[in-house]
Structure formats: C-alpha cells, structure tokens
Structure 1
Amino acid sequence: MRKLGLSIVLAVLVYGVFAALTDVRALGSALTSIDPRAVVIALALSTANYLVRFGRWSLYLRKLGVRVAWRPSLTVFVAGLLMSITPGKLGEAWKSLLLKESTGVPVTRTAGIVVAERVTDLLALLALMSLAAFRSVDLRLALLALALTLGVCAFFAFPALSSPVVAALRRLERDALAERVERFFTSTGELLGPSLLVQGTLIACAAWALEAEGLSILADGLGLELPRSDAFFIYATATLAGGLAMLPGGLGVTEGSMAALLGRALPGATAPDRMALTLFSRCTTLWWGVLLGACANLLHVHARRRHRNAVDTGPSRLP
C-alpha cells in the first residue's frame, strides 16, 4: 500500500508538470467543453473491457482447476485493478493474495495468471498496433509490429524456443537469470500453451479494442476529427509504451506518448485540446479502474470482517 501511495503522488506530480507545460486556462476550457455523453460512453466501454478481461481470468482459473463462485471471483478481479498503477501492473498479483483469503487457494497456484495476462495483453496491443498501422500509419511499421506479435507468440507458445536463450545466458555466466527464465516457463506452461495463448490473446484484443474505441468517442466529444484507425494505433502504442516503461501505471510515458501521437494525427488541434483528450482517456481507463478497484477492495474487507464476526459469534460447542 505504501507503493500505491507513492504512485498516486507521482501521478499528481506528472499531471502537474503536463499542466504547467500548456496554457492552463485553455486546458481548463477544453476540459469543460467535452460532451458529457462521450465521457459516460467511454466509462461504459472501459467497464466492458474489465468484464471481458474477467472472462479471461475465469478461463485461466478453470484451466488451473480452481473453482470459485463468480461473485467473489469478480470482486477479487476488480480489486486487482487498484494495483494497475504499479510498475507493469505486476502489483495485480494482489489478486492471488485476495483469492487465498477468500478461498484458501495457495498464492503460488494462481500467481502465474498475472504473467499470462500480461503476455496476452502485450500480444493484443501489438496486434492492434499492426492492424491499425496497416490502415492509416505506415506499412513498414505495420509489418514490424506484426512480426513482433508473431515472434512473441511463438516464443511463449513453444517453450522449446526458450532453450537457446537459457543456453546463451549460461554462456554469459548469467546463471541466476537463466534459472529465473526456466522457472518462468515452468510456472506458466499450463497457461501459455498454443491453444490457451490464442484464446487469451483474442479475448485481450476485444478488451483493449473497447478502450481504444473510447479514445475515438472522447475525441468526438471534444469536437476533434480523429479517425478510428488512428485512435486504435495511438491508444495501443501509448499503452504498450507505458507498460514496457515499468513505471507505476506507465505514468508520464503513456501520457507523453499519447499526446505526441495525437499531435501527429491531429495537426490542426491545439495543444490544450490534445492534452484534454489525453487526460480524459487516462481518467476513463486507468483511473476509473483504480476507483473500481478501491471499491472492490472495501467490499472484500467488509466480506472478510462479516465472515470473521460470524465465526466468532457462532454457537460454541459443548465438551
């Protein structure tokens, strides 16, 4: 939780810097000019994103033979969104701890799900980048993104391909790193087989496409003409850049990447308008998820407290 607080402080500093670099009055005017319906639709699309990703979470649990009722499972999944502002979202391993508290399932049994989620998210964002780039950006960039997608997919789908990597690390006397790579593939092997990798990636593509569509809707709400293919490319690229930066929530990197790409796609828009679009996108995706995650964590704590009280006040057994 201390790291969570530091992430929030970092967010305040980052947004303060961005505000200072633009015309604050013009930015305020742009923020208040948006059609409220666009914000509502964007929030609904982000919520749908979480529900689709919950389907992937449930798929992985079934694959591991972990049976959990859908309500506590949904609460745990949404609670994990609170940790979206940790580096690389790896703090979402919090879900495994909450699941252990709720059901007794060992953390080590479900921790691999977080890795599988991140891998399929990576593949999905690369796929969206390549598809969008084919439509409106650059054929060479599209082919590069597609090649990366297929390469990463093959690397994780066929663990034997990791053997040369492990061997090379050992030759470089990086035995500790080599062992971590081997353990990684062993622990996630159940969830990253070819069939499940494809299923998880397709689900992730649908989920992230919903949030990319949200960027397009928000642009319309601000009166900006942003082609849908550009919106998809910009959202996928900025999100991927933020995730790879391993900063809390991709703060600074995601916003900077999105604002820069919007500058290329919307040369006629003012800097305050582009910054307003960036901020609305982040508020309706990252920060909406954090808010829902905080509420779900409170529900989880309340449920645990009620359970303990029920146990403590239950009928005592006579000797």
Structure 2
Amino acid sequence: MTISGIPWSARVLSGSSTTASGAGFLTPIAKPKRRWKGKTLLIWTVVGAIAVFALLSLIADFHGLVSALENFPPHILLEVGLLALGNYLLRFIKWHWYLSSMNHRIAPGPNALVFVSAFAFTVTPAKVGEFIKAFILKARYRVPYTVSTAVLLMERFTDVLAILLLSFSGLLLGSLNPFWTGGAGALIVVFLLLVRNKKFVRAIIEWLGRFKRLRGITEDAHEFYDYGWGLMAPGIFTGSMILSLAAWFLEGFGYYLVANGLGFHLSILEGVFIYSASIMGGALTLFLGGLGATEGSLVGLGIIFGMSNSLSVAAAIIIRIMTLWLAVVIGWLAFLFTPTLRSLLGASYEDEPPTSELL
C-alpha cells in the first residue's frame, strides 16, 4: 500500500489543511482550495535575505565591510562557486543512487532537474520545502510517496550526520569539550543501532498505531521503514556517508578560501570547523533553512578565532551567497525555465499532477 494523494510536505507549501480523523496528518483533503504560492515564497525569500544582510552590516564597521568586499579577489569567488557546485554534484550522485537502489531508475538529466529544482525551496522551515521533489517524482514518474519520502529523509539524515562529524574537527582545535563530543558520538551510534533493529522500530510503530489520530498510517509507516531500512544497508550507507562528507567538506574548504582571501589566515581544519558548526547550528533552529542563525554563527565563530567584526561579517556574506543563495538561484532557474516545473507553482491539488515531459 502506498500513500495516496498529496504528501504532507507539499501541503505545507500550499497552505492546505488536513482531516482530523482517519489517516490523520498524512491524509490529504479531497479538494483543497489553495494553490501553490510560488511568487509569495520568492518574495519572502528575497525579503529574508535582505533582512539578514542588513542585520549583519549593523554588526560590522560599515566602511570596513565595504572595503573588505571591494578588495576580495574575484578569482576566489569562482573557486568557491565551483566548490559549491561540487557539493551539489556529490549530493545528486547520492540522490540518484538512492532512487536507483529502490528500482526507480530515472535518466540522470531529468533527475538532476528534479534534484536542483528543490533548491528553490531551501529557505523554508527545516528545509521542508525541498520535499517538493516527492511531488515531482509522483507527478512525472509515479514514484510512490513512501519511496520518495524514505529517500528524502535518508538524504537529509546523512547530510546532517556528515556535517556533525565534520564539526567534530573542533576536537583537534581544542574548541569542543571531549566529554560532550564523545557523548554525542555515542548517542549517534546508539541511534543507528536502534534504527537498524527491525523488531524495535516495528514495535514503536505498532505502539503509535494505538493512538486514534495515527492509527491509519501504521501500514504506510511499516512500508516507509522497509524502504528506509534498505537504504541503511552497510554498503549503501557507507557510500552515501562518504559522498556526504566529501560534499560538505568542499563547502567548508570554500569558507577557508574566503577567510584567507579576505587577508585572515585560517587553517583548513579551522575553516571546515567554523563552517560545519555554523551550518549545524542553523539547522537546529529549524528556521527558514537556518537563515540568520547560520550567519550569526559564522560571524561569532569567526570573531572567536580572531577575525575582526568586518572580516567575519564579510566572510559570512560571501560564503552564504556562494553556497545557499547560489543554490536558491539555480533552483528558481530550474522552475522558471522548465514548463512542467513552472506549472506546479500554480497547480491546484484537486487536479491530477502534471505528467508532461520535464525536458
């Protein structure tokens, strides 16, 4: 059995509600009235970016900030942009591998378009907007939501775990408490062991099924877990973690290049730690792709490592433009220049999902 209708994540983007009984929050209303608010999301994304950069400029000496940005070597912007593209490529390889392992083999070109289109929705709470990929996969390729959701959550889980492991590099710098870091590492290991234990997870699902509002989703939850469990097979999990670690290391290395391009010497290890710890801090806020919290962490850690206010703010602005906002631009370009994807922004959920070619 697969989940029918529109996934919860897609309804979050559209603003539609859910039924109060039956399958609970996973059951879509038959004929929701609201439509995609693509233009509204774009406007709020731009407003959010302007607000964050304006707040950052207040922290720094304005003239010092302008001077730092004006004197930044242009060739480093290109290098950092290429590193960010490398991050996207490695993560796409993982995404494509996951789907293929689920026997949903989509041509690399169209699948890459599905993957990058979700970047347009990066600046949403907990990046839930990126679950638009599940909607597109269902619309074009009839991939069940149980499959796509398992892939999406495993993709997100391995990314978060990789960023967390990279932030543990602070141990080598003396920036992290070994006791707390060891405790966090132990919790991760215990969590992985529990998730791999089928009897334990199935017992949890059955227990949750005793609650009236969750009773209708137990069968789907079991199917979803079976797909996710397959993606946690040792070979697939190890390979996906290697891809995730490499992908996020590239962006951490990009921060190292930015800091040194501004004239402040940071080691690669320091750069990777500052960037990964800041991304993790932003992720924990669950707010609009970490917007604001990540920039604040970048500035704060930069100052702790000896950067001036102006340089730390300049570094935060540059690295976020060349990573987060580059991804958002690529995502919106994918939507705006692809008719099928663009039609989703104005599609009503009471209609059948568009099934025309993506390319």
Q: How far does residue 81 in structure 1 lie from its aligned partner after superposition?
A: 1.4
Q: Is contact 1:123–1:153 with CA below 8 Å preserved after alignment?
A: no
CA distance in 1, matches of 2:152, 2:244: 13
CA distance in 2, matches of 1:157, 1:4: 39
- Which of 229, 234, 238 is equivalent to 1:198? 238
Structure 1 148/262 Cα, relative in aligned 2: closer, same or farther at 3 Å? farther
The secondary structure found in structure 1 opposite 2:125 is coil
Q: Which amino acid aligns with 2:182?
A: L
The secondary structure found in structure 2 opposite 1:105 is coil
Q: Does 1:89 align with 2:124?
A: no
Q: How far does residue 90 in structure 1 lie from its aligned partner after superposition?
A: 2.0
CA distance in 1, matches of 2:86, 2:314: 23
CA distance in 2, matches of 1:239, 1:120: 14
Tell me which protein shows more helix as a share of its residues.
1
Structure 1 108/32 Cα, relative in aligned 2: closer, same or farther at 3 Å? same
Give 1:17's aligned residue. 55
Give 1:154's aligned residue. 193
Give 1:114's aligned residue. 152
- Which of 237, 242, 252 is equivalent to 1:212? 252
The secondary structure found in structure 1 opposite 2:81 is helix
RMSD (Å), alpha carbons? 3.1
Structure 1 228/243 Cα, relative in aligned 2: closer, same or farther at 3 Å? same
152-161 or 227-236, larger mean C-alpha shift: 152-161
CA distance in 2, matches of 1:229, 1:47: 21
Give 1:314's aligned residue. none
Describe how 1:165-204 pairs up with structure 2 within 5 A. 176=214, 185=225, 188-204=228-244
Give 1:36's aligned residue. 74
Structure 1 227/164 Cα, relative in aligned 2: closer, same or farther at 3 Å? farther
Q: How far does residue 10 in structure 1 lie from its aligned partner after superposition?
A: 2.3
CA distance in 2, matches of 1:160, 1:8: 47
Q: Taking structure 2 as the reference length, what is the TM-score of the superposition?
A: 0.75
Q: Which amino acid aligns with 2:289?
A: G
Gaps spanning 5+ residues in structure 2: where?
1-37, 344-354
Structure 1 239/152 Cα, relative in aligned 2: closer, same or farther at 3 Å? farther
Structure 1 31/60 Cα, relative in aligned 2: closer, same or farther at 3 Å? same
Q: How far does residue 170 in structure 1 lie from its aligned partner after superposition?
A: 9.2
Q: Is contact 1:241–1:253 with CA below 8 Å preserved after alignment?
A: yes
Q: How far does residue 27 in structure 1 lie from its aligned partner after superposition?
A: 1.1
Q: How far does residue 297 in structure 1 lie from its aligned partner after superposition?
A: 1.8
Q: Which amino acid aligns with 2:305?
A: A
Q: How many residues align?
A: 305
Q: Is contact 1:126–1:145 with CA below 8 Å preserved after alignment?
A: no
Give 1:239's aligned residue. 279
CA distance in 2, matches of 1:119, 1:156: 12
Q: Which amino acid aligns with 2:260?
A: D
Q: What per-residue deviation string (whole Å, max 9, x for no partner) do you get for residues 246-286 of structure 1? A: 111101110111111111112xx320111000111111110
Gaps spanning 5+ residues in structure 1: where?
310-319
Structure 1 145/236 Cα, relative in aligned 2: closer, same or farther at 3 Å? farther
Give 1:313's aligned residue. none
Q: What per-residue deviation string (whole Å, max 9, x for no partner) do you get for residues 159-217 of structure 1? A: 5454786699799x89859x789666456333234443332222111110111110001
Q: Is contact 1:79–1:293 with CA below 8 Å preserved after alignment?
A: yes
The secondary structure found in structure 2 opposite 1:95 is helix
- Percent identity (aligned): 29
Q: How far does residue 304 in structure 1 lie from its aligned partner after superposition?
A: 8.4
CA distance in 2, matches of 1:17, 1:249: 17
Give 1:298's aligned residue. 336
Q: Does 1:73 align with 2:111?
A: yes
Q: Which amino acid aligns with 2:193?
A: A
Q: Which amino acid aligns with 1:17?
A: L
162-171 or 6-15, larger mean C-alpha shift: 162-171
Q: Is contact 2:125–2:289 with CA below 8 Å preserved after alignment?
A: yes
CA distance in 1, matches of 2:199, 2:304: 41
